[in-house]
Structure 1
Amino acid sequence: MTGFRPRGIAQLPKFWWRTLQSLAQARRAAGIVAVQAKIVDGTYHTLTAWSDLGNMRRFVASGAHLAAMKNFRSLGTGKIFGYAPDEMPDWDAVYELWKLHGREV
């Protein structure tokens, strides 16, 4: 799970452009199991689930997602949290883990 908070309203257009491109890339990526996005308390969250770590790493390091990560700090702040569950994670459970264990990026 990633949670991102844009620095201000001026950053929203670029943020949304990068987000929509990254979500489209994720939805067609090899090994993707699920893609979800929600706004919670002004923080924009994405939750992705992958069949394997290799496909997830290839996604993170390529295309629209890589471009978004290169601009991350100029657009805002956020935290990430990832783990390897035994079954499809529940949004609320992962959100609670993200709040407790999320790492600032």
Structure 2
Amino acid sequence: MTIAGCDRREYAMSVYVSVTGFRPHRGPLRLARFWWRTMLAARQARAAPGNLRVVMGSVDGVYHTLTVWTDEASMRAYVRSGAHRRAMIGFRDLGGGSTLGFESDADPGWDAAYARWQREAKEA
């Protein structure tokens, strides 16, 4: 398991948590396109208003993101704009995935968020 994170600031408030998992189809061109779009979307997320944290990692060939936001509206504004929106246009050609979003009293951390994603995620 590989996990890399970026904490923007300390916070103690209710937050919105988004956890995604994506399994790319095989093939070097698809994987290259996936990584290019992933890096652009991650950079956008780190700079997005309301973003508190971005964690990226892989578990058993599934690539995950954990993002923590001040509120759901900020996360949805990010999803519908820029690099993330462009990545979603052709994502089914690149693979398949599952998502989970939920409110929390605090950042649950990677382990708890991943465990919840395993139990509750819905196919995208």
| TM-score of the two chains, using structure 1 as the length reference | 0.97
Distance in structure 2 (CA, Å) of the matches to 1:27 and 1:76:
24
Match of 2:101 in 1: 82
Distance in structure 1 (CA, Å) of the matches to 2:38 and 2:106:
26
Q: Deviations over 1:73-98 (max 9, x none)?
A: 11001100110000012111111111
Distance in structure 2 (CA, Å) of the matches to 1:54 and 1:97:
21
| Moved segments of 4+, more than 6 Å | none
Match of 2:25 in 1: 7
- State the one-letter code of the partner of 2:56: A
Residue 9 of structure 1 deviates from its aligned partner by: 2.6
- State the one-letter code of the partner of 2:25: R
Say which SS state the counterpart of residue 41 (structure 2) adopts: helix
Distance in structure 2 (CA, Å) of the matches to 1:83 and 1:19:
22
More strand by share: 2
More helix by share: 1
Q: CA RMSD in A?
A: 0.7
Distance in structure 1 (CA, Å) of the matches to 2:110 and 2:90:
26
For structure 2, the 5+ residue unaligned runs are 1-18
Distance in structure 2 (CA, Å) of the matches to 1:92 and 1:9:
30
For structure 1, the 5+ residue unaligned runs are none
Say which SS state the counterpart of residue 58 (structure 2) adopts: strand
User: Over alpha carbons, which structure has the higher Rg?
Assistant: 2
